[in-house]
A and B are shown apart, each in its own frame.
Chain A
Amino acid sequence: KAPDLSSVNKVSSVFEDIEFCVMTGTGKYSKSELESRIAECGGSVVQNPGLDTYCVIVGTENVRVKNIIASNKYDVVRAEWILQCLQHKMLVPWQPAFMIHMSPDTKENFAREYDCYGDSYTADTDVAQLKEVFSRMKDNKMMLLEKIAELEERYSWNSCQLSIFRGNSIYVDFYAVVNEPGTKIHGTTLSIRALELRFYGAKVVPYLEEGVSHVIIGEDHSRVEEMKALRRTFGKKFKIVSELWVIQSVEEGVPKNENQYLI
């Protein structure tokens, strides 16, 4: 089923003396379209990859493509690469984003230039490239808030307005019984304060334990004495502040001094 490419008009010699094997087309360009575009630019096309094949071109992945990948002998490249070569009328260097699979040799070459996520060691990146690198990362672990706080500290991003409460571990007094999250009082403004705290970087905790930095109190002061008693037993003392601390810190975009809001 090799196409007859003898009649194509040569328009450039970008692919002069290069042999390709096009496996599948893309939604926009069929396999035969891609093949004739390659031929127009001086390239040759084979139906099965062989020793002289430069690379395998793939639009959409299928079983045959998977077998080629499994053989680990060929570089399998996205059809987008061919299209970019045609657009720029040059042999665009391979970038990690183009590679569906790499032969061991190519892999080694890439490892000198790019990290395992495809980010260059030497070339500057930009928003689009970094987005692309991020999108190809399969490791979807979430970073813990404590780690984020450390990282922001390290790179001085902690003055960011979205990080007003970063690094703080905060207990909000909206449980009818202290330390019993099952007794949450619904419909109070404190639940909005808790969301604000989280939005601006705090860790909101359901238990008043050692390590808590602040306790936020609303209009109801009935549990304050109990919390103060609990505080006497703690090594690290937490601050008991009114919800106004949250409101005004958010309004002004900076963490306000707690001393004005102590209860």
Chain B
Amino acid sequence: MEKTLNRIHPVSDPEATYFLQVSWEKDLGAGFGIILTDGQCAWTGTVSEADVSREAADMEMDRKKYVEELKKALIAGEESAGKYNFAVSRDKENMECHFSYEKNLKDGSFRLGCLKLHKVSSPADVVKELIGYCLDCLGRLQAKNEHLQKENERLFSNWSDAKKRLEKCVEAKEELEADLYNRFVLVLNEKKAKIRNLQRLLNEAEESAADA
């Protein structure tokens, strides 16, 4: 069972804040449950797999595409804020509540779905459950964060260690090369000095031969 909790502001009363929890198994297309609360009252309802198919058919929309839209509207939360409208209308006794969700278009909007939610007898329990869910999420994220941070530290320390070793290799290579080239040049220059000396002897011999 998966769940998300989002804050929504109904178009009729943008000042008001409602908390919308959507719960589903595997995929929204297979139906989902809704809990809506303003902190004092709570309402609940479900959308079945058949409801999803019917809505998609009514709209003459590809079912897959429709489910994608549902996801964006009900699950995505902050990032899709403004792109979707929510309407909440309650009766006087707060017994029933009409909840509908629509996609915002440039020229108007079209309704993705609507359902009748029923009042929950003990809203406090629902709110408790929602807070509990939030705390669980928070705990999980904190643990994950800590784990990632440790992992990151470990990776960084491995990286610096490898870098230091690489630095040593580079230094050793540079030194070896400079040293070998230096020795090579010394030996090479000895050979050249010898060649110069032989050239000098040859010139001297030629000169003395010419003199004679």
Contact = CB atoms under 8 A, between A and B. Distances in A.
Interface string A140-156: 11111101100100000
A142 B175 contact: yes
Interface residues of B, number: 25
A195 B181 contact: no
A140 B193 CA distance: 21
B202 interface: no
Interface stretch (A5-13, A86-94, A111-119, A251-259): A111-119
Nearest to A136: B183
B159 A187 contact: yes
B161 interface: no
Nearest to A187: B156
A198 B166 contact: no
A66 B177 CA distance: 35
B58 to A, nearest CB: 50
Interface string B178-193: 1111110111001101
Given A116-B190, A142-B178, A199-B173, A192 B183 contact: no
A263 to B, nearest CB: 25
Interface in A25-82: none
A139 B182 CA distance: 9
Contact of B186 (A121, A139, A145, A198): A139
Contacts of A144: 178
A191 interface: yes
Interface centre among B166, B175, B178 (most CB of A within 10 A): B178
B163 A195 contact: yes
B194 A198 contact: no
Secondary structure of the B contact surface, majority rule = helix
Nearest to A142: B178
A133 interface: yes
Contacts of B166: 192, 195
B170 interface: yes
B199 to A, nearest CB: 14
A103 B191 CA distance: 23
Interface of B: 156, 159-160, 163, 166-167, 169-170, 173-175, 177-183, 185-187, 190-191, 193-194
25 contacts: A116-B190, A117-B186, A117-B190, A130-B187, A133-B183, A137-B186, A139-B182, A139-B183, A139-B186, A140-B179, A142-B175, A142-B182, A143-B178, A143-B181, A143-B182, A143-B185, A145-B178, A148-B181, A187-B156, A187-B159, A191-B163, A192-B163, A195-B166, A195-B170, A199-B170
Interface of A: 115-117, 119, 121, 130, 133-134, 137, 139-145, 147-148, 151, 187, 191-192, 195, 198-199
Given A143-B178, A187-B156, A199-B169, 19 more contacts: A115-B191, A115-B193, A117-B190, A121-B194, A130-B187, A134-B187, A137-B183, A139-B183, A140-B179, A140-B182, A142-B182, A144-B178, A148-B181, A151-B185, A187-B159, A192-B166, A195-B167, A198-B174, A199-B170
